[in-house]
Amino acid sequence: MNAVVDLRSDTVTRPSPGMRRAMLEAELGDDVFGDDPTVNRLQERAAEIFGFEAALLFPSGTQSNLAALMSHCQRGDEVIIGAEQHSYRYEAGGLAVLGSINPRALPNRADGTLELAQVEAAINADDPHFARTRLLALENTIGGRPIGRDYLEQALALARRRGLATHLDGARIFNAAVHFGTSVKALCAGFDSVSSCLSKGLGAPAGTLLVGSREFIARARRARKILGGAMRQAGVLAAAGLYALEHNVERLAVDHRNATRLADGLRALGLAVESHTNMVFVAVPAERVAALAAQLEKANVLVLPAARMRLVTHLDVDAPGIERAISAFGEFLSGNAGAPGGIRTHDPWLRRPIL
Ligand SMILES: *Cc1c(COP(=O)(O)O)cnc(C)c1O
């Protein structure tokens, strides 16, 4: 049986033998007392890579983002955030539930950015009727789309001019940096805080790094404690993170190439496809999603069923795996596998544009 080609997310990666060895051999302490040497090494390394004063390791990106928002905002403050951004849409409303922060959600444009005139118009006047606008939160990459330095500089300049703090959800910031051929340090310069996942394309089993000033990170450490994220012998995770930063950053270019090849292959089958960094989005008619996902699974190709189907490449999917995925889509489209849900490429939905 062929190996599974798991395109559901880049979170599905398993620690490689080298990473497991690093975890096994990690020198450990109690990080709540601040004496886990491997955690300390990871945090120092992260601060250096991102060009910030300090860094803090979190169990998850959700918690890192929430701790960051809670460290920037007081109870009742407002954050300007994109309606498609993870912290607004996919973190169970934690910023409101636990942070008492009011989200002012603006639509993300097709390229993932916020219209800066709308951002400026959303800043509340100093008036007791209004929540105090405190923070601008952006995301990079967003839906796989990398946001370049030109836009970020304009957004940062606006925030600075209007006295807003800035947070970047950079869960996949290394994908953006590799895409632009730049460093995360250059891409993130000027933000007050950046959150970056080790557990996505970088291949660690868990862990997210938050970077900021020493004073900001001290506040975030308290928020992390409140949220239950202070861990003890966390060096086993930090060792995986250090390994990931050393071995798994430059190779993201391979994932991007694989995504481009997957997009080209699906497009050649007549499908409407969009692709950015390590993500491919393909339009599937709602009534055929389940049949497609089931047939792909029989071919050992795993996807999350959705009409705007997101396929994600990562370090556990290689080039032959991509070819197998394309073939499995092709078999479904031609109906060769005999499934009742077969789709022929002249079906009108195939030409429908997707976001
Ligand atoms: C995955 C993700 C997070 C949250 O990370 P978890 O570790 O899954 O909690 C936050 N923001 C973005 C953009 C993400 O993709």
Dist. CA 19 → ligand 1 center (Å): 21
79 lines ligand 1 (CB under 6 A): no
Domain ranges of the chain: 14-247, 251-334
Contact 302, 2 (CB under 8 A): no
User: Could you count the other beta carbons within 10 Å of the beta carbon of residue 130?
Assistant: 12
pLDDT at 306: 95
pLDDT tens per residue across span 243-254: 999 999 999 999
**40 CB within 6 A, ligand 1:** no
Please indicate whether residue 199, judged by its CB atom, sits closer than 6 Å to ligand 1: yes
Which of 169, 172, 277 maximizes ligand 1 atoms within 8 Å of its Cβ, making it the mutation to test the pocket? 169
Is the CB–ligand 1 distance for residue 78 below 6 Å? no
Q: Which two tokens stand for residue 264?
A: 């080209």
pLDDT bracket for residue 336 (50, 70, 90): low
Among left, alpha and beta (phi > 0; psi -120 to 50; other), residue 256 is alpha
pLDDT tens digits along 99-156: 999 999 999 999 999 999 999 999 999 999 999 999 999 999 999 999 999 999 999 9
Residue 247 C-alpha to ligand 1 middle, in angstroms? 21
CA-closest residue to ligand 1 atom 5: 61
Return the pLDDT at 82: 98
| Residue 353: Cβ within 10 Å count | 7
Backbone angles phi, psi at 330, to 5 degrees: -60, -40
pLDDT at 346 over 90: no
SS3 314: coil
- Contact (CB, 8 A) for 255 and 30: no
Nearest ligand 1 atom, CA 59? 7
CA dist 66 and 75 (Å) reads 13
| Integer Cα distance of 140 and 311 in angstroms | 18
Closest CA to 275 of 146, 185, 163, 156: 146
For residue 337, is pLDDT > 60?
no
Reported as type and span, the H/E element at residue 301 is strand 301-302
Tell me the C-alpha distance between 305 and 289, whole Å.
Answer: 6
User: Which helix (H) or strand (E) covers residue 132, if one does?
Assistant: strand 132-139
Q: Which of 198, 132, 227, 160 is nearest to 219 (CA)?
A: 227
CA 142 to centroid of ligand 1, rounded, Å: 11
Compute the average pLDDT of residues 45-53: 98
Q: Domain 14-247 falls in which CATH fold? A: Aspartate Aminotransferase; domain 2 (3.40.640)
Count of alpha carbons within 13 Å of 341, Cβ hemisphere only?
15
Mutate to test the pocket of ligand 1, among 63, 90, 139, 278 (most ligand atoms within 8 A of CB): 90
| Whole-number pLDDT of residue 246 | 98
Q: Which residues contact 291 (CB under 8 A, 6 or more apart)?
A: 332, 339, 340, 341
Name the CATH code of domain 251-334 (choices 2.30.30.30, 3.40.50.2300, 1.10.10.10, 3.90.1150.10). 3.90.1150.10
Query: pLDDT tens across 281-313, in order?
Result: 999 989 999 999 999 999 999 999 999 999 999
Q: Predicted confidence band at 355 (pLDDT cuts at 50, 70, 90)? A: very low
- Tell me the pTM: 0.95
What is the rounded CA–CA span in Å between residue 202 and residue 188?
A: 18
pLDDT in tens, 317-330: 999 999 999 999 99
Residue in the structure block whose two tokens are 């050393």: 246
Instruction: Judge if the beta carbon of residue 278 lies within 6 A of ligand 1.
Output: no
Could you identify the atom of ligand 1 that is nearest to the CA of residue 199?
Answer: 7
201 touches ligand 1 (CB under 6 Å): no
How close is the Cα of 169 to the center of ligand 1, in Å?
8
CA torsion 180-181-185-190 (nearest 10°) is -30
Which of 7-11, 61-65, 347-351 has the weakest average pLDDT?
A: 347-351
